[in-house]
Chains A and B, each alone.
Chain A
Amino acid sequence: MPQNRPDLIKRFIGIASNTVTHKILINTEVEENTKNHYKLEIERDIDIALKYRDKINPIGDVLPEKDSEEIRNKILLKVKSELLKRKDKGYNIDFSLIDKEVDKFLKENKVI
């Protein structure tokens, strides 16, 4: 079990990036009336991220600005990089969703 803070943050960033990318791609590919069925999977991803967040101090409060800024930037980079790869392959992706979804995720996880 990873215990040190940098490792926990690294893993949190990985899960956050997977979750946000998953959500944006689902949003592009799935019709409105079937989106509900993916909510549960996304909620499960958020629960996994929360398990890591709950090990990163300060628990129960937002992270210091320096940390939250760094985490936000790294997630944005990872998500953008995955989505750009797909744009090159012809996917029709709404890039304007990235910032909104990353911020939403970080608020849900008490990072910002």
Chain B
Amino acid sequence: MVRLIKKVSKGTRFNQIYLQKNEAGFGPGETVVISPITDIIDQELPIFEYNIKLSSLKKEIVKKIFKIIDDLGSYGNILITGSFLDEGFNFEDMDIVIIDPKINKEKVENSIKEMGILPHLILIDSKSFDRGIKKEPLFRLMVDRFVSIKRTIFREEKDINYRLLDANLFHSKNLIDAYEILSIKERKKLLRDFISIKLFAEDKEVTLNNVKKEADNLFGKDVIKELFYYGNNEAKTKFISKFKKEFNVLQNKVMGNASKQA
């Protein structure tokens, strides 16, 4: 079937389709159908980048993910966050937040897995998500950098619940108790979680940049590099001893504030 893509121009004289003489495939007098191009070609889904500029290859991956979810249901918004947005292709899974979802989680997961990507789907209603940004340092870190299918800005006031922070600190405590058995990625995550809680408890902005700065300040840039980027364990003892101290200071502070909040 011959198809032509042309721009429409309108005149006052003829109510018919006008083509150049040498245009192949259409004879004079033939009846044709014209329709908007968007009815024939799938409209490309938009990508909004917040605090990140994706490579063209990653953009294509994101478009495919958005298309899968878009085809399988409805949603308020879709956000992609986490290590997928880091430079290169070292991510293990892809954090995908679907806000106000009306979808079959299993179907979406399976379709994304068929692309060779392990999805970590977070299905959440918009109220809980907004509450999370107010109360949870890790939610704030998540929306410091993301790509989404709809334009959005998250600027929520902080609502510090010290008991919740205290509870979450027990997760970070595993960096002390299980340091030996954790992978570098797991150690990095627990350290990042701990520093996010610390910044939040101190009423500072929880951003990837601030987390990195704080880690370098507390433990020394070289120690962080050696332990968490090169996997060289020589500075381990120094790091754990400092981490224990910082952990105890933060835990006492959080518990103290929690009792005042009661």
Residues of B within 8 A of A28 (CB): 163, 167
Residues of B within 8 A of A30 (CB): 164
Give the number of residues in A that approach B within 8 Å (Cβ atoms). Answer: 30
| Cβ B132 vs Cβ A48 within 8 A | no
| Cβ B122 vs Cβ A22 within 8 A | no
Residues of B within 8 A of A45 (CB): 171, 174
Encoded as 1 (CB less than 8 Å from any B CB) or 0, chain A from 72 to 112 comes to: 00000000001001100111000000000000000000000
Residues A29 and B182 in contact in the complex (CB < 8 Å), given A34-B131, A89-B259: no
| Cβ A15 vs Cβ B178 within 8 A | yes
Residues of A within 8 A of B128 (CB): 33-34, 37
Encoded as 1 (CB less than 8 Å from any B CB) or 0, chain A from 8 to 25 comes to: 000100110011011001
Q: How large is the interface on B (under 10, 10 to 19, 20 to 34, 35 or more residues)?
A: 20 to 34
The answer to the question of B170 belonging to the interface, with a C-beta cut-off of 8 Å to chain A, is: yes
Residues 115-154 (chain B) with a chain A CB within 8 angstroms? 120, 122, 124-125, 128, 131-132
| Cβ B167 vs Cβ A26 within 8 A | yes
Residues of A within 8 A of B259 (CB): 89-90
**Which of these, B131, B161, B255, contacts A85 with CB under 8 Å?**
B255
Residues A11 and B262 in contact in the complex (CB < 8 Å), given A18-B173, A33-B128: no
**Which of these, A18, A29, A41, A48, contacts B181 with CB under 8 Å?**
A48
| Cβ B182 vs Cβ A48 within 8 A | yes
Residues A29 and B132 in contact in the complex (CB < 8 Å), given A1-B180, A37-B124, A48-B182: no
Could you jot down 15 A-B contacts, CB within 8 Å? A18-B171, A25-B170, A26-B167, A30-B164, A33-B128, A37-B128, A40-B120, A45-B174, A48-B181, A52-B178, A86-B255, A89-B256, A89-B259, A89-B262, A90-B258
